[in-house]
Amino acid sequence: MLFLYFLVFLLFFVVILLPRKSNEILSSKLALSRTKSRTKEKVSIEHLPEELLSNILSRLPSKELQKCKFVCKSWFHLIKDPHFVTKYYVVYNNHIVTNHDLFVIGRPFPSSKKTFISLLSCNSNDNITNKNKEHVPSKVLNPPCEYNSDHEYWTEIMGPCNGIYFLEGKPNLMMNPSLGQFKALPESHFATPFGGNSLMDYTGFGFDPKTNDYKVVVIKDLWIRARGEEHLGWWRTELYSLNSNSWRRLDAVLPLPIEIWSSSRVYTLVNNCCHWLGYVEDEFGKRKDVVLAFDMVNETFRKIHVPRVRDCWEESSATLVPRDESARIGMVVHSVKRYDVWVMKDYWNQESWVKVYSVGPVEVISTLVGICGRDQFLWKNNNEELVMYEAESGKVKCLQVFGKNDSLRAARYMESILSLHRGNEFSGQCVSIDWVHDR
């Protein structure tokens, strides 16, 4: 009888319970499979959360990032997005890069105006002294062949401005060395008035965030010839717009009287304003330092008065510099073997100038040609060699880059994916080669 009960139970289990259990197991496996499939779909390349993807891509070097544009459409549109371009510039240069490379121009041969444009690898964390003669590797950027001759030369670096550099010279040009892009600016079609001479051009470069435009402003010092003599005539101002790729006359009035020393050796763009160091003369003919500012957004000039920062004009010189991540303007006043650093703490208050510190004696300084970081100054020594001086530590590094006839200029190199292309317009492409100086 027990055996009969057991047999009935076994049949019930096989016929009814086992299929039901099998169906539940099969359903569970199918559900798990679907879950895994959905998980795989969620972590596929095209379905990564945009914020996560943006954080990952903003840590790549610009050349590698350009390759990522061709992975898929969503990546392409993200990398081209203006907000990502801005984020990349800030994140990569301020949080990823540890070594500050330099963007350098110079003419190594005294008999030629041919200017070399190069990226210099410079690790400021090295144990450096002025006796360090290890090779410093660099990469030479060759402009397109039509601009790569003894007749083309450049005298000043302005930048970086969001990773874009302006080189003043023949021809004037904009560059993005990260992308190897090179754009020669067209010639201005505004002629000098009849009987007049343009004695000097003073150039500024900057960005207008209101119109998303990069602008170059040129102040022309005009003299009018009258009765066989030269008399001071007037200033003329012209402005180039990258968006329109053209020049136009500006009606902005300079705050006269003022005289400008030259285009600045050190790029000083603060609050969307470029700056020149100038002077005014009092009724006794005594000169006083002033700063001329041009607002790239409003396209207006402003004169900023400077306190007495140097005792003797003949024995010292002054150079404008950016301070505090380009939030303020500063001034380096240097004489033989020493220099003072001044800063205007409130940009809109010309009474807020203070002396931050003094450094000296320093054997290597001769002429300030650039700045890299907060207190890393780039000087040309008496041998016309580029040297880096760190004010805080007192360390000096000879960079073994030479420029004849006062041609050395240097600026911090910043990675950028901002393109110089506007619409269907074409800009040239630089060719780069690795080069190690052999001096």
CATH assignment of the domain containing 60: 1.20.1280
Question: Nearest 5°: CA angle at 361, between 358 and 364?
Answer: 110
* Residues 105 and 199 both lie in one domain: yes
**DSSP 8-state secondary structure symbol assigned to residue 263:** S
Query: At residue 372, does pLDDT exceed 70?
Result: yes
Selected residue with higher pLDDT from 153 and 199 = 153
Confidence of residue 427 (pLDDT cuts 50, 70, 90): low
Query: At residue 314, does pLDDT exceed 60?
Result: yes
Confidence of residue 81 (pLDDT cuts 50, 70, 90): very high
What tokens does 284 get? 């006794």
Query: At residue 432, does pLDDT exceed 60?
Result: no
Domain membership of residue 103 (yes or no) is yes
Domain membership of residue 32 (yes or no) is no
Residues in the chain, how many? Answer: 439
Domain membership of residue 7 (yes or no) is no
**10 Å Cβ neighbour count for 374?**
12
Tens digits of residue pLDDT in 376-395: 899 988 888 999 888 888 88
- What pLDDT does residue 98 have? 75
* Residues 85 and 148 both lie in one domain: no
Three-state secondary structure call for residue 6: helix
* Residues 269 and 302 both lie in one domain: yes
pTM for the model: 0.82
Selected residue with higher pLDDT from 315 and 235 = 235
Confidence of residue 11 (pLDDT cuts 50, 70, 90): very low
- What pLDDT does residue 108 have? 80
Relative to beta strand 317-323, strand 300-305 is: unpaired
* Residues 64 and 119 both lie in one domain: no
Domain membership of residue 391 (yes or no) is yes
| Structural domain count of the chain | 2
The amino acid sitting at 22 is S
Residue that is written with structure tokens 């004009």 in the block:
313
Domain membership of residue 31 (yes or no) is no
* Residues 275 and 190 both lie in one domain: yes
Averaged pLDDT for residues 21-27: 44
Query: At residue 190, does pLDDT exceed 50?
Result: yes
Are 182 and 143 contacting, i.e. CB atoms less than 8 angstroms apart? yes
* Residues 170 and 68 both lie in one domain: no
Tens digits of residue pLDDT in 240-255: 999 999 999 998 888 9
* Residues 388 and 414 both lie in one domain: yes
Domain membership of residue 290 (yes or no) is yes
CATH no. for residue 285? 2.120.10.30
Averaged pLDDT for residues 137-155: 71
Of the residues 66, 96, 126, which one is the last residue of a structural domain? 96
With DSSP H G I counted as helix, E B as strand and the rest as coil, what are the percentages for the chain, rounded to 5?
Answer: 20, 40, 40
Domain membership of residue 27 (yes or no) is no
* Residues 65 and 202 both lie in one domain: no
* Residues 51 and 151 both lie in one domain: no
Q: How many CA atoms within 13 Å lie on the side-chain side of 319?
A: 20
Domain membership of residue 20 (yes or no) is no
Query: At residue 435, does pLDDT exceed 90?
Result: no
> 146 to each of 149, 171, 172, 254, 300, how far by Cα in Å?
7, 11, 14, 37, 36
Query: At residue 256, does pLDDT exceed 90?
Result: no
* Residues 125 and 87 both lie in one domain: no
Of 22-36, 134-148, 173-187, the poorest mean pLDDT is in 22-36
Of the residues 64, 96, 128, which one is the last residue of a structural domain? 96
Of the residues 68, 96, 124, which one is the last residue of a structural domain? 96
* Residues 365 and 247 both lie in one domain: yes
Three-state secondary structure call for residue 81: coil
* Residues 304 and 265 both lie in one domain: yes
Q: What residue numbers bound the domain in which 300 lies?
A: 97-419+429-437
> 389 to each of 106, 170, 362, 412, how far by Cα in Å?
19, 31, 9, 14
- What pLDDT does residue 250 have? 93
Query: At residue 29, does pLDDT exceed 60?
Result: no
Confidence of residue 375 (pLDDT cuts 50, 70, 90): confident
Of 43-52, 79-88, 210-219, 419-428, the poorest mean pLDDT is in 419-428
Helix pair angle (82-91, 73-80), 10° resolution: 70
